């Protein structure tokens, strides 16, 4: 029996859409950390594909799973929900591989992501953010998701990958559809149509770029991938495409999600925003706090390659395991008052993964982009205020706001917070 206000953990299915309509179910996660930190949710259809999964909710356990790739493999599928994304595409991405193949391909990508390589994009990011914010001039209200975050992240990753600006929109739509599979408004097409209608033109566009860079190399990401060699091997066309989709997906929604969650938190916590206005050097710490409290990806999955034990629970070979970052990042054993948004906390966190082979490749790019976005938005619109209820994308994977309506400038009388 469950007590009032708490879930019945025997029957709880952590991935039920009903729990995720207003973002991650933080109260449920807090209960799980307290009462059952490694929890089994049974599947609905009881088919082998839907046999259920383990939820790992405490930071130490997430860390243990993330580091042990030999027991907890990424190669089956890195998501728990049945999304219908074609398996050959998922398996072609190195995020869905184990060593040694994973390490080989990741190292080819890594050279474009060194802090030095990323620092070279700073001027472009400043220009893109400045231009998008300039575009708000004369407006009283806007939606920070659609009017700021989306065009900025699409152009930043687009310029990083060497895309023409007119391709930003179709790529962003395709990626939003791929990642927003739980949400019929974000993804009205359904996965079958995505596979037949969206993916083929993405592949064509990517291959056109590959052909162009083979003939006319530049210093962009695609040129790096086309010519990268390890022990005489180069990437196949499909490996390049899968890697391309992976970077476009990872670079689009994650940064958009974190920026909009950070802005929402700042608008809801005027004292914290005032600290940033008084001392912009606090912005990087504020970004880390937003990453901690609102991790853009709610989970990544592993699959047990052998029987094991985790938090006293018997894990069987073949079991699915979800590492829930919205939970581990609020683990009371690591953070005092974990639900409090505090721009001076400067926390370590697991938003980029919890260590191990699959640790996020894009941290330097994401941090730079987020810092510029938050700093510029707060500086240019010091009296911005919420202008309506933010709404969430309903997804157990891509944890982000769908809309964040704001008033750009407010007067004291108008209730600027
Ligand atoms: C706020 C922004 C971001 C967040 C929260 C984030 C989060 C994550 C997480 C949690 C993982 C670990 C996956 C796992 O353990 O299985 C990951 C992996 C990855 N991320 Fe990010 N990411 C962000 C931005 C980016 C950007 C901007 C890029 C590149 C353009 C990127 C590229 C990747 C790649 C390629 C991997 C796979 C690494 C591997 O499998 O070895 N990410 N990210």
* 330-369 residue pLDDT tens: 999 999 999 999 999 999 999 999 999 999 999 999 999 9
Residue 322 forms beta bridges with which residues?
55, 301
Domains of the chain plus CATH, in order, are: 28-407 (1.10.630.10)
pLDDT over 80 (residue 60): yes
Report field, pTM of the whole predicted structure over 0.75: yes
**Residue 347: Cβ-neighbour burial (10 angstroms; 0-12, 13-18, 19+):** middle
- For ligand 1, whether the C-beta of 74 sits within 6 Å is yes
What's the confidence (pLDDT) of residue 187? 58
Query: Where does the pLDDT of residue 403 fall: very low under 50, low under 70, confident under 90, or very high at 90 and above?
Result: very high
Which neighbouring-strand residues pair with 407? 141, 385
- Which residue's CA lies nearest to atom 29 of ligand 1? 362
User: Is 12 a pocket residue for ligand 1 (Cβ < 6 Å)?
Assistant: no
Task: With beta carbons less than 8 A apart as the criterion, state whether 356 and 68 touch.
Answer: yes
Whether omega before 70 lies within 30 degrees of 0, making that bond cis, reads no
On whether the CB atoms of residues 16 and 81 are closer than 8 A, the answer is: no
For the chain, the average pLDDT equals 90
Q: Measured in angstroms, how far is the CA atom of residue 160 from the centroid of ligand 1?
A: 15
Residue 326 CA, distance from chain mean position: 12
Confidence bin at 412 (pLDDT 50/70/90): very low
Residues 118-128, mean pLDDT to the nearest whole number: 95
Residue 361 CB–ligand 1 contact under 6 Å: yes
Half-sphere exposure of 159 (CA within 13 A, CB side): 18
251 versus 284: the higher-pLDDT residue is 284
Ligand 1 pocket, residue 371 CB under 6 Å: no
The residue nearest atom 14 of ligand 1, judged by CA position, is 358
- CA-nearest residue, atom 6 of ligand 1: 352
Q: Are 396 and 299 in contact (CB under 8 A)?
A: yes
Q: What are phi and psi of 230, to 5 degrees?
A: -135, 125
**CA atoms of 396 and 278, how far apart (whole Å):** 36
Does residue 362 line the site of ligand 1, with CB under 6 A?
A: yes
Angle at 302 between CA 154 and CA 295, to 5 degrees: 40
- Residue 306's alpha-carbon distances to 42, 69, 267, 303, 317, in angstroms, are 20, 11, 47, 9, 4
Report the atom number in ligand 1 closest to the C-alpha of 246: 35
CB of 96 sitting under 6 A from ligand 1: no
Q: With CA atoms as reference, report the closest residue to 299 among 65, 142, 33, 10.
A: 65
CB 297 less than 6 A from any atom of ligand 1: yes
Predicted confidence at residue 188, as pLDDT, reads 59
C-beta 51 within 6 A of ligand 1: no
* Contacts for 314 with CB less than 8 Å, ≥ 6 apart: 307
Binding site membership of 378 for ligand 1 (Cβ less than 6 Å): no
Using the mean position of ligand 1's atoms as its centre, give its distance from the Cα of residue 352 in Å: 6
Q: Would you say residue 119 has pLDDT above 60?
A: yes
Q: Determine how many CB atoms are found less than 10 A away from the CB of residue 314.
A: 11
Is the CB–ligand 1 distance for residue 373 below 6 Å? no
Q: What is the pLDDT of residue 416?
A: 36
pLDDT at 222: 87
**229-247 per-residue burial string, b: 16 or more CB within 10 A, e: under 16:** eeeeeebeeebbbbbbbbb
CA–CA gap between residue 381 and residue 142 (Å, rounded): 12
- Are the C-beta atoms of 31 and 7 separated by less than 8 Å? yes
C-alpha R_g of the chain: 21
3-class SS of residue 105: helix
The angle that helices 199-215 and 237-268 make with each other, rounded to 10 degrees, is 110
- 316-344 CB burial, b ≥16 within 10 A, e <16: eeebbbbbbbbbbbbbeebbeebeebbbe
Q: Three-class SS of residue 32? A: helix
Residue 2 has pLDDT above 60, yes or no: no
End-to-end CA distance of the chain: 43
Ligand 1 contacts CB of residue 90 (under 6 A): no
- Best CA proximity match to 147, nearest among 352, 368, 381, 341: 381
Ligand 1 centroid to Cα of residue 161, in Å, is 16
**Are 251 and 160 spatial neighbours (Cβ–Cβ below 8 Å)?**
yes
């Amino acid at each position: 029996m469950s007590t009032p206000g708490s879930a019945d953990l025997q029957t709880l299915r952590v991935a039920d859409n009903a729990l995720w309509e207003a973002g991650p179910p933080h109260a449920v996660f807090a209960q799980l950390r307290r009462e059952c930190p490694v929890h089994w949710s049974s599947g609905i259809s009881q088919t082998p594909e839907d046999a259920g999964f383990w939820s790992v909710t405490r930071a130490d356990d997430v860390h243990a799973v993330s580091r042990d790739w030999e027991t907890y493999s990424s190669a089956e599928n890195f998501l728990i929900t049945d999304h219908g994304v074609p398996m050959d595409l998922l398996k072609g991405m190195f995020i869905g591989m184990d060593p040694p193949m994973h390490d080989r391909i990741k190292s080819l990508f890594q050279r474009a992501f060194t802090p030095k390589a990323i620092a070279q994009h700073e001027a472009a990011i400043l220009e893109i953010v400045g231009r998008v914010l300039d575009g708000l001039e004369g407006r009283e209200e806007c939606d920070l998701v659609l009017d700021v975050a989306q065009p900025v992240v699409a152009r930043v990753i687009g310029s990083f990958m060497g895309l023409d600006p007119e391709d930003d929109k179709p790529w962003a739509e395709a990626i939003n559809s791929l990642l927003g599979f739980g949400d019929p408004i974000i993804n009205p097409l359904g996965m079958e149509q995505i596979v037949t209608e969206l993916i083929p033109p993405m592949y064509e566009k990517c291959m056109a770029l590959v052909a162009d860079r083979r003939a006319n190399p530049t210093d962009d990401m695609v040129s790096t991938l086309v010519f990268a060699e390890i022990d005489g091997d180069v990437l196949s066309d499909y490996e390049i495409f899968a890697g391309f989709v992976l970077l476009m997906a990872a670079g689009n929604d994650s940064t958009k999600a974190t920026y909009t969650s950070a802005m929402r938190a700042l608008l809801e916590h005027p004292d914290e925003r005032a600290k940033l206005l008084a001392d912009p050097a606090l912005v990087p710490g504020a970004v880390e706090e937003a990453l901690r409290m609102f991790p853009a990806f709610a989970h990544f999955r592993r699959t047990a390659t052998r029987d094991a034990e985790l938090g006293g629970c018997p894990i069987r070979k073949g079991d699915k395991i979800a590492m829930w970052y919205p939970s581990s990042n609020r683990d009371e054993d690591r953070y005092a008052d974990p639900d409090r948004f505090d721009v001076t906390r400067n926390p370590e966190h697991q938003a980029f993964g919890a260590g191990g082979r699959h640790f996020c490749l894009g941290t330097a790019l994401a941090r730079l982009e987020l810092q510029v976005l938050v700093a510029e938005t707060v500086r240019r619109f010091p009296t911005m205020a919420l202008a309506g209820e933010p709404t969430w994308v309903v997804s157990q994977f891509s944890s982000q706001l769908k809309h964040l309506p704001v008033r750009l400038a407010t007067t004291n009388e108008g209730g600027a917070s």
